[in-house]
Amino acid sequence: MTEYIPGLAGVPATKSSISSIDGEKGILAYRGYSIQDLVEHSSFEETALLLMNGELPSPKELTNFKNILKKRNEVKRKIRHLLWSLPSTGHSMDVLQTAIASMATFYPDAGASQPDSSYTQNALIKIISNMSTLVAMWTRISRGYDPIPPSKTMSYAENFMYMCFGEESDPEIVSLLDASLILHAEHTINASTFSTMVTASSLANPFASIAAGVGTLAGPLHGNANENVLIMLDEIGSPKNARKWIEGRLKNKQVIWGMGHREYKTKDPRATILEKMIKAYIKKNGLNLSNRFETALEVESICNELLAQKGVYPNVDFYSGILYSEIFNFTKEHFTSIFAMARSAGWVAHWHEQVSDNRIFRPTQIYIGADFRDYPAK
C-alpha cells in the first residue's frame, strides 16, 4: 500500500471482537449488544466484564467481579502523596496519566507475556477500580480537601459520587452516572484506543499502555471536546444568539464543538441517549437548568438545518458536558477524566486482545524530504 491516507481514515488496523459501529444506521454495540439495551438493562460493572470476557457474566461471576472491584479500589499511599505534590492547577487528565503510569512501579510483573495469569488479570481489574478512586481524589485534592476513602459496599457509580462529594447520592443520579459510564466505556479503534494498542504491541505493561490512552484522550479533538462544548455554549450565551454564532463559525471555517463524527453519518446514538436522559430527568424533577441545555438544543436544531446534508450531527461530547455540569455538579476540568474512568474498561479489553495475538505496529511512510546528498566540505 503506497497511498497516503491522512489520519489512517478507513484503514483497518486490527481485527477485533470487542465492539462494532454501523455509521449509516447510527448503531453502536459491545460484543453484539446494542448500547441502548445495555443502558436499559445492564450496569457499568456488568458491561466492563462483558467487554473483558466477551460474554455476559453469570450472576455469580458478576458478584465476584463487583467484590474484586470493591476490594481493590484503594490507592497506594505513595500515589496519594504523589497527587498532593502536584500543582492544584494541573489538569485532571495530566494528573490521571501520571498516576496510572506510576502504578507500574508497584505491579512490575503485570506483563504482556502472560495476559491470562491471575496476577495480570488482577492488575487489569485494579486499573478499572483505581480509575474512579484517582479521579475522585483529584476532584478533592485540587480544591485542597483530603480524599474520601472508597466504600467497600457501594456500586462503582455510587462510590464515585460518594468519594467526590462525601455523601450518598440520590439513586436517580447514580443511575444516570452508571448509564453515562456504559455509553463511554468503549468505541472501537478510536485515537486513544489505538494509542493503547500500539503501546501494548511493544509488550509494554498494561499501566503504560492505559497511560498512553489517557494522554491521547486528553486532546481537544478527542475526549477533551466535552469541555470545549461548555465553553462554546457559555460563549453563545442564550438560544437567541445561536444562529449568528454558528453562521460566523461556519463562514470562518471554524470548529463547532460536539458536532460531527468520523464514523457516524447520522446522530451519534450515545448523544441521542444522553439527550433523552437529560430531558427525562428535567421533566420528572421539574428542574430549570441554566441556559446551556436550551442553547444546546437550539444549536443542534440550527446545525441540523445547515449541516445535516453533510452528515454532521451531534456526537457524544455535545451532551455529556451538560450532564456532568448541570446534573452531576462537576466542573469542566474533570469531565474528560470521568470519560477516561469509563473508557478504562474498553482500553483494558483491547490491551488483552492485542497482546493475546500480537504483532508490533510498524507502519511505513511516504518520504517527502531531500534526496541523498553529500555533506559539504569544510
Tell me which residues are annotated as active site: 261, 317
10 Å CB burial of residue 119 (0-12, 13-18, 19+) is: exposed
CA distance 196 to 210: 6
Query: The dihedral of CA 104, 105, 108, 113: what is its sign?
Result: positive
- DSSP-based three-state secondary structure for 215: helix
Residue linked to cell 470562518: 252
Cα 70–chain centre separation: 21
What Rg value do the Cα atoms of the chain yield, rounded?
A: 21
Q: Dihedral through CA 214, CA 120, CA 362, CA 19, nearest 10?
A: -70
Whole-angstrom distance, CA of residue 86 vs CA of residue 324: 24
Cβ neighbors of 322 (< 8 A, separation 6 or more) are 229, 230, 233, 278, 289, 292, 293, 296
Q: Are 31 and 329 in contact (CB under 8 A)?
A: no
Alpha-carbon distances of 211 from 131, 175, 371, rounded to whole Å: 11, 28, 38
Taking every pair of C-alpha atoms in the chain, what is the biggest distance, in angstroms? 81
Return the sign of the alpha-carbon dihedral for residues 131, 134, 138, 140: positive
Please choose, from the candidates 103, 147, 105, 106, the residue with its C-alpha nearest in 3D space to the C-alpha of residue 128.
Answer: 103
Q: Report how far residue 92's alpha carbon sits from residue 134's, in angstroms, rounded to the nearest whole number.
A: 10
Q: In the structure grid, which three cell numbers stand for residue 124, read together?
A: 487489569
Q: How far, in Å, CA of 331 to CA of 227, rounded?
A: 9
The residue among 231, 249, 234, 225 whose CA lies nearest residue 314 is 225
| d(C-alpha 161, C-alpha 164), whole Å | 5
